[in-house]
Amino acid sequence: MSLTHFAPATNLLWRYLEETGIDPKPLYEKAGIRPELLSNPHARINIKNVDKLWEQAAGVIEDPCFAIDMAELWHPSQIGALGYAWLASTTLRRALNRIVRYAHVVSEDLDLEIADTPTGLKLSVDLGNSIFTLPQHHDLVIAVLIHMCRFNFGEELLPAKICLARPAPSCSRRMVEYFRTEIEFDAEQTCMILARADADQSLMSGNREIALMHDEMLMKYMITIKKGDLIQQIQSIILENLPDGHVSDKMVAKELNLSERSMQRRLQERKTTFRILLDSVREMVAKQYIKNPMNRMSDIAFLLGFSEQSAFSRAFKKWTGQSPVEYRDSVDQN
């Protein structure tokens, strides 16, 4: 299965090339990327084509620290619903958790990890197995993340530490001026650390309801972009048909052009069953909808395909050990 990249996310490079007087169109076309895809929120591009684009761009960009200037051109629309969920996050910790959770919405070749450390909240970037091998890729990911944090928090935000798993460039002083902290070059991993007080400070731009609305969109989108995998295909079909209340293994197998026996056999090979996948999708969707206090329990039951709210409540307690109301009361609202 080919990994993909959210097409509008490549607008950042397009805008930078235009800003520096370079015509981006020939570079995109040479990389096999149609420019009209950049304005299509449903379009995704093969990662290999994006890599070719970066190779083309790196060959004509003379500035070794161009990622710093690129970050300043970031706009939330370039990463779709994830950008708007970020803007509506009530703290930087919650915003960064969203980035980690939904990173594959932007690029399936990007893996992030978040952890509390004695120094502060640490977000690490794993490009070790990525096809993105340019040093500037490390610069760009961290520079964009810091820019996004300052977008929400304010320009006064200072990271506690920046680590880049790449050698120091000739313009390293300029990078230090941008991050406003010392940078550890040739680090084991690319990362950024924010002081815990900054990560947990309430943001004036936060809006929990709007953030949760975009979370629901992202949750569904994450399933749809993985359709090359059998399990993800089944989950996607289940998700699309839940409100009908008649999701069955027979119906799903038919949509996949498989016999029920063939689908069951292939799932057994993956050590799972249709019932397990159905319950996992229902539980995932239920938890996301319950987080939003604007969603009524009766409506959630209907959206999950339950004919009665009581049946939904019983199923949810079986999945989680809590009733839907108890879960809503206990969950950390985003």
- pLDDT band (50, 70, 90) for residue 257: confident
For the residues 319-329, what does the mean pLDDT come to? 91
Residue limits of CATH 3.90.1520.10 in the chain: 4-199
Say what the pLDDT of residue 228 is: 60
pLDDT reported for residue 129: 66
pLDDT value for 131: 65
Give the DSSP letter string of 209-254.
HHHHHHHHHHHHHHHHTTTTSHHHHHHHHHHHHGGGT---HHHHHH
Which is the CATH superfamily of the domain at 4-199?
Answer: H-NOX domain (3.90.1520.10)
Q: Which CATH architecture describes the domain 226-330?
A: Orthogonal Bundle (1.10)
Q: Where in the chain is the domain with CATH 1.10.10.60?
A: 226-330
Per-residue pLDDT tens digits for 34-75: 999 999 988 899 999 999 999 889 889 989 899 999 999 998
Closest listed residue to residue 56, CA positions, set 91, 31, 21: 31
How far apart CA 155 and CA 152 sit, in angstroms, is 9
**Would the pLDDT of 26 be above 90?**
yes
For 168-225, write each residue's pLDDT tens digit.
999 999 999 999 998 999 999 999 999 999 999 999 989 888 888 888 888 878 777 7
Residue whose pair of structure tokens reads 């939330």 in the numeric block: 76
- For 70-107, what is each residue's pLDDT tens digit? 999 998 889 999 999 999 999 999 999 999 989 989 99
CA-to-CA distance for 159 and 149, rounded, in angstroms?
Answer: 10
Closest CA to 256 of 275, 283, 232: 232
pTM, full prediction: 0.76
DSSP letter for each residue of 33-92: --GGGGG-TT-EEEHHHHHHHHHHHHHH---TTHHHHHHTT--GGGGTHHHHHHHH-SSH
